Amino acid sequence: MKNRYLKNVATLKLKSDKCTGCGRCIEVCPHQVFVIKEGKSVIVDKDGCMECGACVKNCSFNALDVKPGVGCAYAIIMGWLTGTEPSCDCSDNGSGGCC
């Protein structure tokens, strides 16, 4: 059975006019969010996006945008407690599930 997360939250955006249809985003996306239609990439499963930022980082045409972040409650709690941006820094104290 497929794992699905919350709907209508992902911050992923695609600027179609900048897209050349090179297909890099399809190559790097771990959740098959994109397909190529008529020579351009289109978002077909926005709710599948986990905001990892792989597509943005590898789009040499700057056609993609997302607010990347860690989908980790522990990191967000630590961020709230320490007043910093949530980061995957469990390594400092060795606890928490992520990484």
Rounded to an integer, what distance in angstroms lies between the CA atom of residue 84 and that of residue 70? 13
- Least spacing, CB of residue 83 vs another protein, in Å: 16
| Token output for 96 | 């928490």
Tokens matching residue 53: 């930022």
Of the candidates 14, 5, 1, 3, the one whose C-alpha atom is nearest the C-alpha of residue 71 is 5
Question: How many residues belong to the site for another protein (CB under 8 A)?
Answer: 52
Residues between 18 and 47 that touch another protein (CB under 8 A):
24, 26-32
Residues of the shown chain interacting with another protein in the complex, contacts defined by CB under 8 A: 1-7, 9-11, 24, 26-32, 48-55, 57-58, 60, 67-77, 86-91, 94-99
